[in-house]
């Protein structure tokens, strides 16, 4: 049996992208930190990589990054953290470190969640959220399957299921009936799985009944949520009332008869009387949204666009999406058109961004951007997450703008989309397909252009910081040229590993001595003096543990690059406050024609790409480091 340092589980409301992105991120982070990990995924195809009791027992800690219930009781006695799935994608290393120092979880205790300071509130709030997402994740396949079948029935005409209409078609009527029946299961399934997450099998039964009762009474989606949580309350209350009955004699009676019969009766009676006010609220909400579509399509588009590009498949995005599916079930095909446009736009925008400015992105980012053309075209929004997370305060507003434009234009031109998912696959069902695609592409191009500018700005900023020698005559264009690859001046003999120095001055002296021993300069004292003069002008400590010191002297014979990987991180007054473990130094002849600025800037560009940083940190031989710079000819 394989043993793992850590185990975990991931799951999201749709079970399509976030689930597996979090799995991959945690596996990569664990490998980088020197741990082994096994992740159980809860996706739409079911549970994969199931954790065994022995694997859980042997693990040092457990990480649950999920928006749905994955069953935390089995982790009792282990160090455990529970966070939303998005944090598993964005902060995998931080989660691993926190899990290893988390308190021991017992099923009677609160689960540590980093969303709040109050652990009791964290547990309650997290359970409410995960139970709701559990209901939504099980509901969505019914909505998609039913919605698509209904939409296909419209190929024979909008009234093709009506026997009194001239458009009537028997096959279309059958499709419509099957689709409508499946779609109508939305509320019962939602209520059932909300209750199941908190009250297990009995909760499922009572929640399912509550969902059907509220559906028949017009309570709809809102009624299903209320019914699901009411079922939990009733079941928990019944369990306390009948707790004095010993389980060894009355377990079967309670689980088969008392709890379901009394639970359905009490919950059903309450929902029967609540249906009237809930229906009124539902109708009011539908009327309000319909009024927005007719009187304020631009404002509605802005709201929907911002929601869809806030967390890309997360709870805010899902709130807009679920609202669209509810209205779709009510026969409103316009609202979903704007939601779909906003969701499709964001991943497409990242694809355009890497097309517009490929030099600002790493190879893996460019690949991801191109893949996002496919993901976006099929209404999978999560591919935008890595791009949004890189510079969120800049990139997310840029994506929101494009989403808002696409959504608003869709509402203004009264485009209808009768299916809740599918992206461009459902174009034959859209009333104005070419116009819809045009608005989506327009928003994507605008967001993509902004993303490309932002990426270029940050790459340029890093290059300028690295190339700034205090001279006012620095030419900005020279700093970002793509010629002068650092590999051209890097000799394998100038790469040293496990360098044992205690501070910055010792590191600079080591570099100066190395320059003389490798015949790159003739006077180490003058090289060291140049290094120290440069540091007085401003620290060359960068971010992510890198420093880029450089020396210019008449004793230096030719432009050269030296790379040191330190045995212990040292203080260097870096930009982000981190200690430095990797030093990339440049030796510059007195007559240089600013060539060193080009090498410096291109090196700084490389250090803005996470994949390059990861590979360089992991490299443990001079040959590997030399090959890595050789591979990155295109910055």
Cα dist from 183 to 126, 188, 333, whole Å: 28, 10, 14
CA distance linking residue 354 with residue 366, whole number of Å? 6
Ordered strands of the 6-11 beta sheet: 46-48, 37-43, 6-11, 61-66, 79-83
CA distance linking residue 189 with residue 555, whole number of Å? 78
Task: For the beta carbon of residue 276, count every other beta carbon within 10 angstroms.
Answer: 11
CA distance linking residue 66 with residue 88, whole number of Å? 8
CA distance linking residue 210 with residue 204, whole number of Å? 10
Which string of DSSP letters, residue by residue, matches 357-378?
Answer: -GGGS-HHHHHHHHHHHHHHHT
> Contact 162/150 with Cβ under 8 angstroms?
no
Which residues have a Cβ under 8 Å from the Cβ of 302 and sit 6 or more positions away? Answer: 404, 407, 408
Judge whether 12 counts as a catalytic residue.
yes
**In 3-state terms, the chain is what percent helix, strand and coil (to 5)?**
65, 10, 25
Cα dist from 39 to 9, 74, 354, 462, whole Å: 5, 15, 31, 36
Checking 127-131 for CB contacts under 8 A at 24+ apart, the result is 127/197, 127/198, 129/67, 129/84, 129/315, 130/66, 130/67, 130/68, 130/69, 130/82, 130/197, 131/69, 131/194, 131/195, 131/197, 131/198, 131/228, 131/229, 131/232
Residue showing tokens 């964001």: 346
Which residues have a Cβ under 8 Å from the Cβ of 102 and sit 6 or more positions away? Answer: 61, 79, 80, 81, 112
Q: Is 208 exposed, middle or buried (0-12, 13-18, 19+ CB in 10 A)?
A: buried
Strand partners, 589: 553
CA distance linking residue 513 with residue 48, whole number of Å? 56
CA distance linking residue 194 with residue 136, whole number of Å? 8
Catalytic residue (choose from 6, 7, 9, 12):
12
Q: What 3-state DSSP class applies to 536?
A: helix
Query: Which run of H or of E encompasses 279?
Result: helix 259-295
Checking 175-178 for CB contacts under 8 A at 24+ apart, the result is 175/149, 175/150, 176/149, 176/150, 178/146, 178/149
Active site residues: 12
């Amino acid at each position: 049996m394989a043993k793992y340092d850590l185990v975990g589980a991931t799951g999201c409301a749709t079970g399509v992208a976030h689930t597996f992105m979090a799995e991959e991120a945690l596996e990569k982070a664990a490998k980088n930190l020197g741990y082994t990990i096994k992740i159980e995924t809860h996706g739409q195809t079911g549970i994969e990589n199931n954790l065994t009791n022995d694997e859980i027992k042997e693990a040092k800690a457990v990480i649950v990054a999920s928006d749905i219930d994955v069953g935390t009781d089995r982790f009792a006695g282990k160090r455990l953290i529970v966070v939303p799935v998005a944090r598993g994608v964005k902060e995998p290393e931080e989660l691993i470190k926190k899990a290893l120092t988390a308190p021991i979880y017992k099923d009677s205790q609160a689960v540590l969640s980093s969303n709040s300071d109050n652990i009791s509130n964290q547990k309650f709030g997290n359970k409410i959220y995960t139970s709701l997402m559990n209901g939504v994740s099980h509901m969505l396949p019914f909505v998609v399957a039913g919605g698509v079948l209904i939409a296909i029935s419209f190929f024979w005409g909008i009234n093709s299921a009506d026997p009194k209409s001239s458009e009537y078609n028997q096959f279309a009527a059958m499709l419509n009936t099957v689709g409508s029946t499946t779609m109508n299961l939305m509320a019962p399934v939602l209520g059932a799985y909300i209750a199941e997450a908190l009250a297990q099998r009995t909760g499922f039964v009572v929640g399912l009944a509550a969902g059907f009762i509220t559906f028949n009474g017009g309570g709809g989606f809102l009624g299903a949520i209320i019914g699901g949580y009411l079922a939990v309350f009733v079941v928990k209350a019944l369990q306390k009332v009948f707790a004095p009955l010993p389980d060894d004699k009355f377990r079967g009676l309670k689980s088969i008869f008392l709890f379901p019969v009394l639970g359905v009766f009490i919950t059903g009676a309450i929902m029967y009387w609540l249906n009237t006010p809930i229906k009124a609220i539902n109708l009011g909400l539908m009327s309000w949204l319909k009024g927005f579509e007719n009187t304020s399509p631009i404002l509605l588009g802005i709201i929907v666009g911002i929601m869809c590009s806030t967390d890309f498949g997360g709870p805010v995005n899902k709130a807009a999406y679920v609202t669209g599916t509810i209205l779709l079930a009510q026969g409103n095909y316009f609202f979903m058109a704007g939601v779909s446009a906003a969701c499709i736009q964001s991943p497409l925008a990242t694809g355009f961004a890497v097309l517009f400015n490929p030099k600002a992105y790493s190879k893996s980012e460019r690949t991801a951007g191109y893949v996002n053309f496919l993901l976006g075209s099929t209404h999978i929004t999560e591919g935008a997450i890595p791009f949004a997370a890189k510079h969120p305060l800049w990139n997310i507003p840029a994506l929101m703008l494009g989403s808002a434009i696409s959504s608003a234009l869709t509402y203004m031109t009264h485009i209808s989309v009768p299916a809740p998912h599918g992206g461009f696959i459902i174009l034959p069902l859209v009333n104005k397909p070419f116009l819809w695609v045009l608005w989506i592409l327009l928003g994507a191009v605008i967001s993509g252009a902004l993303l490309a500018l932002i990426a270029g700005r940050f790459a340029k900023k890093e290059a300028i910081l690295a190339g700034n020698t205090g001279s006012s005559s620095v030419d900005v264009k020279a700093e970002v040229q793509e010629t002068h690859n650092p590999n051209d001046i890097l000799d394998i003999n100038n790469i040293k590993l496990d360098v044992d120095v205690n501070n910055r001055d010792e590191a600079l002296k080591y570099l100066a001595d190395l320059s003389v021993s490798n015949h790159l300069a003739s006077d180490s004292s003058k090289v060291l003096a140049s290094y120290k003069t440069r540091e007085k002008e401003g620290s060359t400590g960068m971010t992510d543990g890198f420093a880029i010191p450089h020396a210019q002297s008449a004793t230096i014979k030719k432009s050269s690059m030296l790379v040191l990987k330190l045995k212990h991180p040292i203080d260097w007054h870096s930009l982000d406050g981190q200690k430095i473990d990797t030093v990339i130094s440049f030796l510059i002849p007195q007559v240089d024609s600013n060539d060193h600025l080009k090498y410096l800037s291109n090196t700084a560009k490389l250090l803005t790409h996470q994949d390059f940083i990861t590979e360089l940190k992991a490299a443990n031989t001079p040959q590997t480091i030399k090959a890595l710079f050789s591979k990155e000819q295109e910055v």
